[in-house]
A and B are shown apart, each in its own frame.
Chain A
């Protein structure tokens, strides 16, 4: 049988003919995942900048850089996905405000600018120092970044600190907006039973924070091991608290959503049941297994007041599990929702492509890039101060690295 297009999704039951190809594939799975990591990392950073929780001081600038690097790559899955990427700015030029998606251009743009500004304010002192120390071309670059001002008097630095704090405060609701709107894109759609829920924006936001914290834990441990610097116990404890809070709230709300679907038992609930038992069984198992693992580990670590090496090892595992679990959750929501046919009488099973425009290889590429960029960024703007009181350059004297 000749087929003009090769991408056909196998299905059982009855689906509308136009549903044979899933509109949103793995690219749309990693888009909320990446913005989630951004939001989570930013929340950790602002725990120090806004709430002055000292235990997060060692990672706050690193978290900020993480947020920034991941934010650069947040629009890329969307650009790969669009049918007409050259027209992508149409949504910015004439945004249709009844569409949650139109918010993307403005919210993401605003958030990126906010991150850039905050990073600049947080690193300005170092940038000024490096513009004087680094030779040649790099020195010139830093020079431009200083905007021609080498004012690092305590007064100026105090103003920097204050502005950075304000930006951080604005950043928290902005992060909620950035990630909440993605949840709204899914949750407001009355057509898809698996997505349509008032809880969806909240779920997305909270799991985003969880995944961001997990990312930060993983990166902090790896970076410290790589740099052969000690891992600060207090910081790990702080991250443990945040992770524990995140996972408990996330599990409660996700559980609530599932419960509501089955309790309300509206037309088609049998097909939803079959969806969970069938196409997304693996994904759901991973999501909930990881969630329970994180919950168990974090509660145990808290209960038994674990510190030191053990804390690092287990928290690292929990952080990794959190990242995997949240990715599985994104997959289950995005792909799972489309595997349930709008007829409620059919189920599709999606097999992702390996090569191509919307494929696993592109996903892998987009996933790796932020880490590489982050590594480069830590070389350009080192966030750590070795052997010094940690925190803003503004609050203490700094040494050149």
Chain B
């Protein structure tokens, strides 16, 4: 074989030997151990320290808030107050609203980071930003910021399941911050458990009530018997009624435009204003009232303070969501029952009851309650 071929073959052999031995030597440790990858990579990935610590880690220092949160709605994953299916993560934890994994708190130092962050590499970034230092990430939020956080989940958006409590912010509370009414750790409000002063601001309600006085009177005694007295009426019932007018659930051409401009806070305030007045007795035909007494036995279950079990005052409803009837205008009561009868006003219970009443029954009942004292 010619000299040059021999020499070429030697050169090629040398290069190949070097290349293949280099390849073998350079294979990283633990490669091919479990598959076509570095076996050690598994432990490296898994050894990173978790940043989210879970709400229980906040308990030690923030006992009170933690207790409130545990007992409240934000801790339960419920739909219609029932735990649905297999759900085991409930409500937003501390780290959700307080925008940051507890791993970065209380020390400002970032926690020991993972193997990924130890990798040195070619960076072609314009600005290098570490996640913990991103502007706007504060652990304790200002009330204004908190409003945005609440709205993140509670703004009314098409696409959100209806079980999620959602509001349209301006009609709900205008410019108010959420925490004025809601405890962020346990935000559900049960009005009945609040003292009247807390439920609404009667002073602010007075300003609104000036508009209402035209029909319902300055102190809730309406100027005409066809419109209801509001003085001393249950707070909850007044709120429910106004809300129903607003949503259209209770169609009423007069009231609907009246409440259009009111938001949730206004409604509560005006309801608080009227409910604090003492109710009066509007009076009615005593003869008819006596006839109505017998029929009213059927109404006692709901519209009597003692309900089914006691003999509380007739016409003063036990449940604050049901209206007091005592002292109400007879004409208004009669019109209401007739409205239930003909379907222009719908109520799951009252509609069927009203259908069992004759015209005479209606007149008698109206007179009876109109004569009742509400105390």
Which A residues contact B (CB, under 8 angstroms)?
A: 4-6, 83-85, 89, 92-94, 96, 117, 120, 124, 146-149, 151, 155-156, 159, 163, 356-357
Bound-state Cα–Cα, A323 to B127, Å: 40
Interface residues of B in 101-151 (CB under 8 A from A): 121-122, 124-127, 129
| A-contact 0/1 string along B180-221, CB 8 Å cutoff | 000000000000000000000000000000000000000000
Stretch at the interface among B23-31, B86-94, B312-320, B359-367: B23-31
Residue picked from A117, A147, A159, most chain B C-beta under 10 Å? A147
Measured between C-beta atoms, what is the minimum distance from B152 to chain A in Å?
18
Bound-state Cα–Cα, A42 to B344, Å: 91
Query: Do B27 and A147 have beta carbons less than 8 Å apart?
Result: no
Q: A89-B26, A93-B26, A93-B27 are in contact. Are A149 and B125 (CB under 8 A)?
A: no
Nearest residue, chain B, Cβ from A153? B2
What are 13 sample pairs from A and B whose C-beta atoms fall under 8 A apart? A4-B127, A4-B129, A5-B125, A93-B23, A93-B27, A94-B32, A124-B4, A147-B4, A149-B2, A151-B2, A156-B2, A156-B4, A163-B5
Query: Do A83 and B26 have beta carbons less than 8 Å apart?
Result: no
Task: Indicate if B7 sits at the interface (CB-CB under 8 A).
Answer: yes
Task: Indicate if B353 sits at the interface (CB-CB under 8 A).
Answer: no
Query: Do A4 and B125 have beta carbons less than 8 Å apart?
Result: yes
| Residues of chain A within 8 A of B28, CB atoms compared | 94
Measured between C-beta atoms, what is the minimum distance from B42 to chain A in Å?
16
Q: A6-B126, A83-B121 are in contact. Are A149 and B36 (CB under 8 A)?
A: no
Bound-state Cα–Cα, A83 to B8, Å: 37
Bound-state Cα–Cα, A6 to B125, Å: 9
| Residues of chain B within 8 A of A6, CB atoms compared | 126
| Residues of chain B within 8 A of A163, CB atoms compared | 5
| Residues of chain B within 8 A of A149, CB atoms compared | 2-4, 7
Measured between C-beta atoms, what is the minimum distance from B207 to chain A in Å?
42
What DSSP secondary structure best describes chain A's contact surface?
loop
Nearest residue, chain B, Cβ from A124? B4
Task: Indicate if B11 sits at the interface (CB-CB under 8 A).
Answer: yes
Q: A89-B26, A92-B23, A96-B36 are in contact. Are A4 and B4 (CB under 8 A)?
A: no
Bound-state Cα–Cα, A357 to B123, Å: 11
| Residues of chain B within 8 A of A96, CB atoms compared | 36
Residue picked from A4, A96, A148, A163, most chain B C-beta under 10 Å? A4
Q: A147-B7, A149-B2, A151-B2 are in contact. Are A94 and B121 (CB under 8 A)?
A: no
| Residues of chain A within 8 A of B26, CB atoms compared | 89, 93
Measured between C-beta atoms, what is the minimum distance from A376 to chain B in Å?
23
| Residues of chain A within 8 A of B124, CB atoms compared | 356-357
Q: A4-B126, A6-B126, A83-B121 are in contact. Are A94 and B4 (CB under 8 A)?
A: no
Interface size of B by CB at 8 A reads 21
| Residues of chain A within 8 A of B36, CB atoms compared | 94, 96
Nearest residue, chain B, Cβ from A98? B36
Query: Do B126 and A159 have beta carbons less than 8 Å apart?
Result: no
Q: A83-B121, A147-B11 are in contact. Are A5 and B4 (CB under 8 A)?
A: no
Bound-state Cα–Cα, A156 to B3, Å: 9
Measured between C-beta atoms, what is the minimum distance from B4 to chain A in Å?
4
Bound-state Cα–Cα, A146 to B4, Å: 7
Bound-state Cα–Cα, A128 to B4, Å: 11
Bound-state Cα–Cα, A274 to B2, Å: 64
Nearest residue, chain A, Cβ from B124? A357
Task: Give the 6 A-B CB pairs with smallest separation, nearest first.
Answer: A149-B4, A149-B3, A147-B7, A156-B2, A93-B26, A96-B36
Measured between C-beta atoms, what is the minimum distance from B112 to chain A in Å?
23
Query: Do B2 and A159 have beta carbons less than 8 Å apart?
Result: yes
Bound-state Cα–Cα, A356 to B28, Å: 33
Bound-state Cα–Cα, A4 to B26, Å: 37
| Residues of chain A within 8 A of B5, CB atoms compared | 159, 163
| Residues of chain B within 8 A of A147, CB atoms compared | 4, 7-8, 11
Nearest residue, chain A, Cβ from B36? A96
Bound-state Cα–Cα, A156 to B5, Å: 9
Interface residues of B in 204-244 (CB under 8 A from A): none
Nearest residue, chain A, Cβ from B127? A4
Query: Do B31 and A5 have beta carbons less than 8 Å apart?
Result: no
Measured between C-beta atoms, what is the minimum distance from B7 to chain A in Å?
4
Bound-state Cα–Cα, A212 to B149, Å: 61
| Residues of chain A within 8 A of B8, CB atoms compared | 117, 120, 147
Measured between C-beta atoms, what is the minimum distance from A96 to chain B in Å?
5
Query: Do B7 and A148 have beta carbons less than 8 Å apart?
Result: yes
Bound-state Cα–Cα, A370 to B255, Å: 85
| Residues of chain B within 8 A of A92, CB atoms compared | 23
Measured between C-beta atoms, what is the minimum distance from A349 to chain B in Å?
22
Bound-state Cα–Cα, A133 to B327, Å: 129
| Residues of chain B within 8 A of A83, CB atoms compared | 121-122
Q: A93-B23, A94-B31 are in contact. Are A5 and B122 (CB under 8 A)?
A: no
Interface residues of B in 19-53 (CB under 8 A from A): 23, 26-28, 31-32, 36
Bound-state Cα–Cα, A148 to B2, Å: 12
Nearest residue, chain B, Cβ from A148? B7
| Residues of chain A within 8 A of B11, CB atoms compared | 147
Other than the known A147-B8, A149-B4, what 20 A-B pairs have Cβ atoms closer than 8 Å?
A: A4-B126, A4-B127, A5-B125, A6-B126, A83-B121, A84-B122, A89-B26, A93-B23, A94-B28, A94-B36, A117-B8, A124-B4, A147-B4, A147-B7, A148-B7, A151-B2, A151-B4, A155-B2, A156-B4, A159-B5
